[in-house]
Structure 1
Amino acid sequence: MLNPESTFPDSNLGTSQNPKLKRVLIGIGGGIAAYKICEVVSTLFKSGVEVRTILTNSAQKFITPLTFSTLSRYSSFTDENFWQPIYSRPLHIELGEWAEVFLIAPLTANTLAKLAHGMADNLLTNTVLASTCPVVLAPAMNTDMWEQQTVQQNWQNLLKNSRFHSLQPASGLLACDRVGAGRMAEPSEIIAYIQSLLHTAGKRDLAGKQVLISAGGTREHFDPVRFIGNPATGKMGLALAQAALHRGANVTLVHGPLNSDIPLGIEAIPVVRAEEMHSAMMRCLPKADVIIMSAAVADVKPQDYSHQKLPKRSLPKSLALEPIPDIITELAKRKQSHQLLIGFAAQTGDIITPAVEKLHRKNLDAIVANPVDKPDSGFGSDNNQAVFLDKQGHQLEIPPCTKLQLAHHLFDFIGSH
């Protein structure tokens, strides 16, 4: 049903069937982690991304080209295709020119060594040299292999080339029963990095910058099991942290309780109460270049706290409350002239008027007016929409998109004014 000729019209591998679609090339290396790339390919395809896959000979020991052909709806390429003169131009040239982002996962020690020394002896490595797009590397190997001095030297040397973007292996139980570093990044983390690079084309405009972000909701307990809170999940703040990390920033994330894992490379400071978030943000403020308060912080807290769970019959009929100091107002008072402070205004109905008022009253550099009464937007959703405003009077409306895309639009906005 699928054949190499049908993959690209008129055997021209550089011409997409739909030029509006994003184009991702994925090279799969030989390792048990290759099975994870099935989810990557499937998810990208469902999101409207065109995907091409290259399998090394070793990869085919773990998973078949037919699997990826089925998931991507295009033929997978192997070294057997590389040496067949059935295309109008060399296959590695066509694939290299076609790709907007190139993922290599799992990256083996063997392929890493070849890339670090500019070697090209198969379709995958030849295509890397024939391309100019950003390349995402997701290593996976035994801990002792990963920690070998030669492997680490190859890794560090390769990352000196700005084309290459790293997804560091995590620690955990490996297929060899060893517990340690070498576990390939999870599909969700890989997909997020690819989506970032499709937006930025690999630019690292935040390199060397310290970005401080608050995320999630705070909880103000009146006994060990009951609290005043809100529906915030921290997804928006986590997306901001990922976007900043992918653009080269050093990221600190001060967050309330989350249901999501935090990717490697982000310094995470967990908190529960608004007072704890206040303390952490003030402590981290002096080193930050960009501060984004996306957390949904409580406005009030119970006056009294019981160290033991209150029985139902003892619950107060009315709860005495007291205000909580406003974190972003305090940040605005302490920030230096070189620092940018961005706030969020979660609103219903008219989102612009209260956001503009908050922008000026709290002396912010920019604000994100965020409707929380729209479908598939706001608290708990994977998507969002917003209007960006800054103190110079610029305004930009962002239609519904993923929270990661919204995060990148925000960094574009604050970087352009």
Structure 2
Amino acid sequence: MTGGRRDWWREPLLGLVAAGLGLAGTWLARPGSARQEWAGVFPVLAGLALMAVGRWPGPVLVAESALLLVADAVAPAGAGTPQLAGAVALGYVACRCGRSATAAGYALFLGVTLVDVLRQGDAGVLSGGPGLIRLVMLAGVAAAPVAFGRYLRGVRHAAAAAEERAREVEERRAAENRAARLAERAAIARDLHDIVAHHIAAVALRAGAARYAVQHTGRTEEAVSALGELRDTAGQVLDELRELLEVLRDPEAVEPAEPQVEPAQVIRDAARRVREAGVAVQVTVPAALGRVPLVVGTTAARVVQEALTNTLKHAGPGAVASVDVRVADGALLLEVLDSGPVRRRPALPASGYGLNGMRERVGLLGGTLTAAATDSGGWRLRARLPIRENA
């Protein structure tokens, strides 16, 4: 009864089988009965009507009921097939239609069945105690197609609900995969920004210093020193980019080993590179930094690295900067302060992701970050990273 485009042949086959069996039954039943020549017409008509029961179960039930009444009046031997086809149509109504239509179909089929029983017997067949029992049995027999149809309807609804749940689970899984990919891309973008913004800014400034030394001061030793530092920084950039590309090509091929550099060392290396580019940097890193959770320390190191990169970009050589990292009140506090540019200079292009990236890193740990210009023309960045929540 579930039907479908792929099962279009079921109802036609059902109608042909019902018509054939009913026609054969009329030839074998009571050859001497009156008007036996009309008995074979009703099975054929009942079978033809049953072919459309999948599309129009209600009208087919009405048609089968009418055929049953006419067969009772014209040729009782041909009433068996319409009655059986009517029960099948009632089952389709119960499966395809709502409760109101099912109740109406049941009442119609039970009424027609009672008329058929009364015509075959007499008015007293349903009277008295035995008649009441017969009536209850007829009601139960007529209710059997309804029960079967409603059962199939429940199975269909359960299957549809299961498919819907499976589809929702699949959509949720796809959404989670998309979110995970976006988060991974954001993490890669932050790492790539750290590599490019910090190191390439240092490379650009050291190259400019070497060019200035050759063209204006004639001090070739300063140019050679700047080029050597530039070569070391470029090599470090290539190494870090190579590691990042290895992870992108095959994330499972790179084992998550212990970090090779401690957060304090990352801060000192960033200060050294900026110092070599001409910015005087004073760093205060407590020993307690090594005892904070690694994710907190690493985030602090990346924030300091990015802040010093911004100092290098916007303040330039000759500026003075300070880095103060301390542990207090259950949090890691850091401050990066610079004096601002000492002279007008061509500004390096800003990436636009520095402060946003730092705020994202700090916000993931439940911390806060503020950055603003000072009254003296410099820049101050402060961040607070809670430790207890991330221990």
TM-score bin, normalised by smaller chain: under 0.3
TM-score by length of 1: 0.16
Q: Which has the larger radius of gyration?
A: 2
TM-score by length of 2: 0.17
Higher helix share: 2
Higher strand share: 1
